[in-house]
Amino acid sequence: MSETRGDQIASASAVMAVGTTFSRLSGFLRSVLLAAALGNLLHADLFNIANTIPTMLYILLAGGVFNAVLVPQLVRTMKNDADGGTAYANRIVTFAILFLGAVTILLVVAAPWVMRLFLGPAYYEPELATQRDSVIDFARYCLPQVFFYGMFVLVGQILNARGRFGPMMWAPIANNAISIVVLVTYLVIFGTAEGAALCAGFTPGQELLLGLGSTLGIVAQFAILIPYLRAAGFRFSPRFDFRHVGLAHTFKLGVWAVLFVIVNQLAYTVVVRLASSGTAVGCGASQGTGYTVYAYTFLLVMVPHSIITVSLATAALPPLSRRAADGDLPGLARLLANTLRTALVVIIPFAVLLAVLAPRLAEVVWGWNGEAADTIQLYVPSLRLFGLGLVFFTVHYLVLRGFYALELNRTVFVIQCAVALTNVLAAITLVRATDAEHTAPALVLAYTASYAVGALTSYAVLRRRLGGLETRRLVRFLIRVVLAGGFAALAARGLLALVDAAVGSEAAPDPHFLAQLASLGVVALVGCAAVAVFLGAARVLRITEVSELLAVTMRRDRRSAGQIREEST
């Protein structure tokens, strides 16, 4: 990784990574409080499914265009248009306000029919009428998020195209802060869900507090970005002259992005319906796993992706787009290969260590409300299996940035069809072949299989298109990283055994809060030791990407305070 390529991207992504880290830490606290308040059975599914639908619908309606198409187009118009792309950006913002506003209103009105797409047949049995009413009420409160999600991403992409990466990564902290206040208030007023409440519906007051509180967080997340537009030199002025001004090319590219997300979200709709069956079919069965277990473990596993991979990809897409615009395919290939190795040097060790630390992590994250040990351990199989899926997803996610830079959106759509089809077929087959307890792990296996297909296919196609992606170097790198990660996992397993032998399974401190702190301390101790072993093994095995990433991070840390202050002005 050279100073002029990978070093610049790692440096540019540092502020984003810091912001995302703080965001994820606050998100971690939010998840802990949510699990404490709602549990992990049907009661939790009612809110979590309804609160997930706005994100899915935003991605379905506009996310593909906003995330994949706009940055390359904004970069091109800033470079080629006389006004630096301002008129183009104003037209995009105006169109987005009109489109997202109209669609959001329709979704709120049609909430009962919208939720029918995502809920399994068990929700429409008479005995679950109250629970069905609750999830529809939550949907009405949460669906306005579609508009604010869209505007947040659109404004964030305008800032990214202008080199202001930090605000978009820091803004979600406001959302999490509001969610934390809402959940603390909920716990004070309503307490935790226990016993029969774990399968019950919600009262109107509970729905109002959780639903509106969730939407208010997304509103604040968007509103925080608005002052940064002016600081970045952008002044919004509504423009309705949409014809013959370059938007046709954007929307032509956007067609394939929309088709991409339609396929992806159709597959995820199947996953949500199957996941809901894990808790709804046998409501009250303590061994059922459904959407909440699947979603909570997914969120935890995606932390390194959000901090490392998304930051790298966001910083890499503008220079990738510039190389594509200049016809520099070898330069694009080198840049993408460097970015891929930089991400995997973090993701692979995390996935390997996750298999060892999953039981302890489940206790630390989801054990604060005093649930029984066997209930907490329901998270463990899904947590372990998601590690490998994360590795494949990382490769697929980063390689797609190369396709987007080249404007090969049709190719991306075809590849995603294979990913979605694999996910649907594997999910249906595996869920039908297992019981309620293993519904979530079966869906994780389907996820892993689908992105294994996606990673291998997307990499092979792009490699052929670019004439190479430094594959031999990548294979040697992967072998060394897996070895170093394996040494770290063995060290972690050995240290855990020593801790268990020294403390004993019956020696956990009382009360429960102290027991949780003790578990957190064990995870921190073992995790730090494993990281130290990995760094030592990486040095012995000459994994240069580790030392280069550390060097860039340390250099950036010495400048980060000043840059963060600059981002705030």
One DSSP character per residue, 159-219 reads HHHTT--HHHHHTHHHHHHHHHHHHHHHHHHH----GGGGG----HHHHHHHHHHHHHHHH
d(CA 286, CA 376): 10
Q: What phi and psi, each to the nearest 5 degrees, are found at residue 515?
A: -65, -40
Please give the pLDDT value at position 319. 84
Query: Residue 366: inside a domain, yes or no?
Result: no
Amino acid at position 156, single letter: G
Query: How many domains is the chain built from?
Result: 1
Count of C-beta atoms within a 10 Å radius of residue 259: 18
| Residue range of the domain that includes 192 | 39-262
Give the pTM.
0.76
Does residue 459 fall inside a structural domain?
A: no
pLDDT given at position 364: 80
Rounded Cα–Cα distance for residues 59 and 262 (Å): 9
Does some domain include residue 518?
no
Tokens representing 65 are 């265009």
Token digits of residue 414: 């075809």
Tell me, yes or no, whether 303 lies in a domain.
no
Q: Is residue 248 part of a domain?
A: yes
Amino acid at 10: A
What is the model's pLDDT at position 250? 57
Question: What is the model's pLDDT at position 569?
Answer: 35
Per-residue pLDDT of the chain (569 residues; tens, 9 = 90+): 444 444 555 555 555 555 556 666 777 778 778 888 887 778 888 899 999 888 888 777 666 556 555 656 666 666 666 666 677 778 888 888 898 899 999 999 999 998 988 887 878 888 888 888 999 999 999 999 999 988 898 888 788 777 776 677 778 888 888 999 999 999 999 988 776 777 788 999 999 999 999 999 999 999 998 888 888 777 777 777 666 445 555 556 567 767 777 788 788 889 988 887 766 655 554 566 778 888 888 888 888 887 777 777 777 777 888 888 888 899 899 989 988 998 899 999 999 999 998 888 888 877 765 555 556 778 889 999 999 999 999 999 999 988 888 888 788 889 989 999 999 999 999 998 888 778 889 999 999 999 999 999 999 999 999 988 899 999 999 999 999 999 999 999 999 888 877 765 444 444 456 667 777 888 888 889 999 999 999 889 988 888 776 665 555 444 433 433 333 33
Q: What is the DSSP code string of 433-467? A: TS-GGGHHHHHHHHHHHHHHHHHHHHHHHHHHHHT
Checking 488-492 for CB contacts under 8 A at 24+ apart, the result is: 488/349, 488/352, 488/353, 488/530, 488/531, 488/533, 488/534, 488/537, 489/352, 489/353, 489/355, 489/356, 489/530, 491/529, 491/530, 491/533, 492/353, 492/356, 492/357, 492/526, 492/527, 492/529, 492/530, 492/533
> What does the longest C-alpha to C-alpha distance in the chain come to?
74
| Closest to 479 in 3D by CA, of 537, 398, 548, 401 | 537
Say what the alpha-carbon torsion angle 28, 34, 39, 42 is, to the nearest 10 degrees.
-120
The dihedral sign for the CA sequence 334, 340, 343, 349: negative
Angle of helix 6-38 versus helix 310-325 axis, rounded to 10: 140
Write out the DSSP string of 341-387: HHHHHHHHHHHHHHHHHHHHHHHHHH-TT---HHHHGGGHHHHHHHH
Go through the chain and tell me how many residues it has: 569
The token duo for 173 is 């902290």
pLDDT value at residue 369: 58
Tell me if 536 is assigned to some domain. Answer: no
- Tell me the C-alpha distance between 418 and 29, whole Å: 36
